[in-house]
């Protein structure tokens, strides 16, 4: 017979056990039914690893098939500090073999950053599983715990706050934690790899191993450096074409999904996706022309010591860029060793006041608008008055036609041409030629330049802009505008990508074609201006650009930079030359700019024109262009480089034009009993070194 007390105990235990089983059943239902997705994700995050598989990066070729950039296999050295018994000795040996500072290597092997153990991939190479970009979380961060049966608010009421937090390691414990993966040096060259391999084998060092990666190399070193750009350590494009076409060259990476054990080693591979989509790129660049252009640019840079300089060559009939370069330059194989300023492709990123080369645009506008003809007479008294401010020309040219204005680079004459056009018409043609807008070339970091609307012009602006001041343009804009004159009036989009090719099939995925933006002037106007440009190289300011067997069309430019340099006794200039050859069937347009060259007489005709001559001569020989009838020695032979030229003031007295016209310069009214004195330039919008425009500085 069961005692009444025992009966109550049995019933109590029964209900307690029943409650416990109900809680267990409820929890199982919660885990397996209502929280299935949460727990599945928790398990996946705890045990699954996504390992990216990078594809080989596509190659870059010149138009002739010469290789400009490719990726080759490379070995990267990593270490497992927990297995290295003598880190100081190993650090010393590695620092000598790899050229790394001893303290840097020692720091990595003794107190490295926390990372996970690298695990072997399918091909036996080590794969780092727990880097944030590869796994989605850091090695030291565990996946958040899934929700329990009690809500967080109830747990906070029942349990003390301290019990909910995991114990924090002490400073000593944190320092004693040692990573099992550190990079020693990535992408070793052949000699370094062989030396370290021999060291590991002879000394039987444990804890050092290699991982196979790819290394981007540029076989021609500095050739086309700014346009090509470079890649980072992860083979991602950082500058130039490498950055612009990173998706095309790099494609889409593949992926391995594996189940990892407690030690991080893969146990089972669940899925694998191959990398896909990378392509090869062929450029319009002619490597021989590129070599000639860079060689002549190097000579000019050494001879005249400019702050920087750049040049480019374009086929005016297709818009294809044949060559482009800037100085100073860099080697993309060692890009980290150079200042970021030399990475710039200055044809696209820098703006300049074009100076007298812009007179071609003013002449085109006046002819196209039927305001003048090539033989329309003008009178140059040596100065012109705008808003009661006398503006001096470089000489007293007296009676001149539009042809002679371009030939002699007459400031007064071109100002009068601009006045005939008026601000609105001049602005219309400036924008029509593409100034103030990007050319659209397939390169990064191109800027718009600066063209102010007529509402923001001052009384001096019509004269200043007519001759290439108070306007900021890029080298690519100027090159495309003159190419429009060469090809009969069509403004083309500059092309540098010739085609994109599938590496597996060899099929052309994308191919560039002629891209006409718009017609800017009629063929008749373009022909008239081209004829005027031939006078510049025959008897005008650009005789240093003349060739013996070809008729050259060109224009010089010398623009004075706005600033306080003149007050300090060393005024700064931009010397330039733009031209095309042959004049009847142009094969190439070349533009050269020397920014702040050094010398007593800074002129575009004596500094930039000779660079054009040598580049154009080599291109004509390369393309086997037959000599033109009527070509020959210039009417006015160029003076020797060491012979001093007459300055502007002396030329104004005897009526002779100097080699290249000085920019527009307002002069003060003549004081009582004194002579006229030159004054600083009028308003200008050229950007200074700090990126400010002339308008900002004023």
Q: Can you tell me the mean pLDDT for 319-323?
A: 98
pLDDT at 143: 57
pLDDT at 553: 97
pLDDT digits (tens, 9 = 90+) for 474-504: 999 999 999 999 999 999 999 999 999 999 8
Q: How many CA atoms lie within 13 A of 95 on its CB side?
A: 15
Highest mean pLDDT among 137-151, 265-279, 659-673: 265-279
Biggest CA pair distance of the chain: 144
Q: What is the distance between the alpha carbons of residues 322 and 62, in angstroms, rounded to a whole number?
A: 10
Positive or negative, the Cα torsion across 130, 131, 133, 134?
Answer: negative
pLDDT digits (tens, 9 = 90+) for 542-598: 999 999 999 999 999 998 887 654 544 567 899 999 999 999 999 999 999 999 999
Q: Counting Cβ atoms within 10 Å, is residue 675 exposed (0-12), middle (13-18) or buried (19+)?
A: exposed
Q: What is the distance between the alpha carbons of residues 385 and 645, in angstroms, rounded to a whole number?
A: 27
Q: What is the distance between the alpha carbons of residues 335 and 333, in angstroms, rounded to a whole number?
A: 6
Q: Has residue 654 got a pLDDT over 70?
A: no
Q: Has residue 613 got a pLDDT over 70?
A: yes
**Is the peptide bond between 328 and the residue preceding it cis, with omega within 30 degrees of 0?**
yes
pLDDT at 351: 95
Q: Is 610 left (phi over 0), alpha (psi -120 to 50) or beta?
A: alpha
pLDDT at 125: 42
Q: Which of 352, 356, 351 is nearest to 664 (CA)?
A: 356
Sheet of 588-595, strands arranged across:
321-327, 308-314, 588-595, 573-581, 553-560
pLDDT digits (tens, 9 = 90+) for 140-186: 445 565 666 556 655 555 555 544 455 555 554 444 444 677 888 88
Q: What is the distance between the alpha carbons of residues 84 and 633, in angstroms, rounded to a whole number?
A: 76
Domains identified in the chain and CATH numbers: 49-57+72-134+175-218+256-278 (3.30.70.2110), 287-329+345-499+514-637+647-667 (3.40.710.10)
Q: What is the distance between the alpha carbons of residues 393 and 381, in angstroms, rounded to a whole number?
A: 8
pLDDT digits (tens, 9 = 90+) for 430-440: 999 999 999 99
Q: Has residue 698 got a pLDDT over 60?
A: no
pLDDT digits (tens, 9 = 90+) for 335-348: 999 999 999 999 99
pLDDT at 673: 34
Q: What is the distance between the alpha carbons of residues 25 and 148, in angstroms, rounded to a whole number?
A: 14
Q: Which of 453, 403, 455, 398 is nearest to 430 (CA)?
A: 453
Q: Can you tell me the mean pLDDT for 255-265?
A: 72
């Amino acid at each position: 017979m069961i005692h009444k007390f025992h009966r109550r105990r049995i019933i109590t235990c029964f209900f307690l056990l029943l409650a416990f089983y109900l809680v267990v059943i409820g929890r199982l239902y919660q885990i397996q039914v209502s929280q299935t997705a949460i727990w599945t994700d928790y398990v996946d995050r705890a045990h699954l690893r996504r390992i990216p598989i990078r594809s080989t990066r596509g190659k870059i070729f010149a138009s002739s098939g010469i290789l400009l950039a490719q990726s080759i296999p490379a070995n990267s050295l990593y270490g497992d500090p927990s297995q290295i018994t003598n880190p100081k000795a190993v650090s010393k040996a590695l620092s000598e073999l790899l050229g790394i500072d001893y303290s840097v290597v020692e720091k990595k092997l003794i107190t490295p950053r926390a990372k996970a153990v690298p695990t072997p991939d399918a091909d036996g190479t080590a794969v780092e599983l727990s880097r944030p970009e590869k796994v989605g979380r850091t090695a030291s961060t565990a996946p958040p715990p899934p929700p329990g049966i009690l809500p967080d608010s109830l747990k906070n009421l029942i349990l003390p706050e301290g019990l909910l937090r995991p114990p924090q390691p002490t400073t000593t414990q944190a320092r004693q934690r040692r990573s099992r993966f550190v990079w020693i040096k990535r992408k070793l060259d052949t000699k370094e790899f062989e030396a370290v391999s021999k060291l590991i084998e002879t000394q039987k060092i444990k804890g050092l191993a290699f991982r196979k990666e790819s290394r981007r190399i540029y076989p021609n070193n500095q050739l086309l450096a700014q346009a090509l750009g470079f890649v980072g350590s992860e083979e991602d494009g950082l500058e130039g074409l490498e950055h612009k076409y990173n998706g095309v060259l790099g494609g889409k990476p593949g992926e391995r999904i594996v189940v990892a054990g407690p030690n991080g080693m893969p146990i089972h591979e669940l899925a694998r996706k191959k990398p896909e989509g990378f392509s090869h790129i062929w450029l319009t660049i002619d490597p021989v022309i590129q070599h000639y252009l860079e060689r002549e640019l190097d000579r000019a840079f050494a001879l005249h010591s400019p702050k920087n300089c750049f040049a480019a060559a374009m086929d005016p009939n297709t818009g294809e860029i044949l060559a482009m370069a800037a100085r100073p330059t860099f080697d993309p194989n060692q890009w980290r060793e150079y200042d970021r300023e030399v990475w710039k492709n200055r044809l696209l990123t820098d703006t300049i006041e074009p100076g007298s080369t812009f007179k071609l645009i003013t002449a085109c506008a006046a002819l196209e608008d039927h305001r003048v003809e090539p033989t329309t007479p003008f009178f140059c008294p040596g100065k012109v008055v705008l808003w009661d401010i006398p503006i001096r020309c470089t000489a007293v040219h007296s009676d001149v036609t539009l042809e002679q204005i371009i030939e002699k680079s007459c400031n007064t004459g071109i100002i009068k041409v601009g006045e005939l056009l008026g601000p609105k018409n001049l602005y219309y043609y400036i924008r029509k030629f593409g100034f103030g807008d990007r050319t659209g070339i397939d390169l990064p970091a191109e800027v718009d330049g600066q063209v102010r609307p007529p509402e923001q012009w001052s009384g001096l602006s019509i004269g200043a802009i007519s001759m290439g001041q108070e306007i900021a343009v890029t080298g690519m804009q100027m090159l495309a505008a003159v190419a429009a004159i060469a090809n009969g009036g069509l403004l083309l989009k500059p092309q540098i990508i010739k085609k994109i090719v599938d590496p597996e099939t060899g099929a052309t995925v994308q191919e560039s074609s002629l891209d006409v933006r718009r017609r800017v002037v009629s063929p008749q106007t373009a022909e008239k201006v081209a004829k005027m440009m031939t006078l510049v190289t025959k008897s005008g300011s650009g005789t240093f650009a003349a060739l013996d067997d070809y008729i050259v069309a060109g224009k010089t430019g010398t623009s004075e930079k706005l600033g306080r340099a003149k007050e300090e006794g060393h005024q700064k200039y931009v010397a330039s030359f733009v031209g095309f050859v042959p004049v009847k069937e142009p094969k190439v347009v070349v533009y050269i700019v020397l920014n702040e060259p050094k010398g007593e007489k800074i002129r575009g005709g004596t500094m930039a024109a000779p660079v054009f001559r040598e580049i154009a001569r080599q291109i004509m020989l390369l393309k086997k262009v037959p000599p033109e009838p009527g070509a020959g020695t210039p009417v006015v032979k160029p003076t020797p480089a060491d012979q001093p030229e007459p300055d502007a003031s002396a030329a104004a007295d005897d009526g002779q034009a100097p080699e290249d016209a000085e920019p527009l310069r307002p002069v003060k009214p003549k004081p009582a009993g004194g002579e006229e004195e030159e004054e600083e330039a009028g308003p200008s919008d050229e950007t200074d070194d700090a990126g400010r425009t002339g308008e900002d500085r004023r």
